[in-house]
A = this chain, B = another copy of it.
Amino acid sequence: MKVSNILYICTMNYEEAKIKFVSTWGSLGTLWGINKAMAQIQALLFVSTKPLSMEDIMEQLKISRGNTSMNLRQLMDWGIVTKEIIPGERKEYFTTEKNVQELARTIAKERSRREIQPVIKVLKEVSSIKDDGTEKTKELIKQTKALYELTETADDMINKLVNHKQNWITKSLFKLIK
């Protein structure tokens, strides 16, 4: 690590740190097929001490009203952001799940449902074609079946890990696996 970086870290203040966190989370999202604004809105809510209005979000992230509205809806569809009604206020306010374990659980469940399950379905279909005895058909069946099994097992595993309500960040569980 360069000395300049170390100095920078040591002098990072609240605003800088927050911006760094939100923007990094945003690019991570992009890398994982989640759009930047969506990831940034979630990040912003995640470190906010109180619910934020659409105005707040628009202003802090410098994004349009439409963009904010659409991405908040998506986050609500994913089940990780909720509307908060503040008595006496006309505006809508938003919060995200603050518990990282719960957050991970929800995301894993949704991704499984939206992305993994459809693939598992196709793998099952493809691996179930009639074996006509040719080498290439045998290979297709064999390989897609292996992929099917791996995908299903990995999916099950992630869901089990993540559904394990009790703190799954435990040394004991590690020991069993390692």
Interface residues of A (CB under 8 A from B): 9, 12-14, 17-18, 20-21, 24-25, 28, 30-33, 46-49, 98, 100-101, 104, 115, 119, 122-123, 125-126, 128-130, 132, 134-137, 139-140, 143-144, 146-147, 149-150, 153-154, 156-157, 160-161, 164, 169, 173-174, 176-178
Of B119, B129, B150, B161, the residue contacting A100 (CB under 8 A) is B150
Tell me whether B149 and A178 are in contact (CB under 8 A). no
> Would you list 20 pairs from A and B whose C-beta atoms are within 8 A, ordered by A residue?
A12-B126, A14-B134, A17-B125, A17-B129, A21-B122, A24-B122, A28-B115, A47-B136, A49-B135, A100-B146, A100-B147, A100-B150, A101-B150, A149-B169, A157-B161, A157-B174, A157-B177, A161-B177, A173-B177, A176-B176
Given contacts A12-B126, A157-B177, 16 further A-B contacts (CB under 8 A): A14-B129, A14-B134, A18-B126, A20-B122, A20-B125, A32-B32, A32-B115, A46-B143, A46-B147, A47-B144, A48-B139, A100-B150, A101-B150, A149-B169, A157-B174, A160-B177
B178 touching A160, Cβ below 8 Å: yes
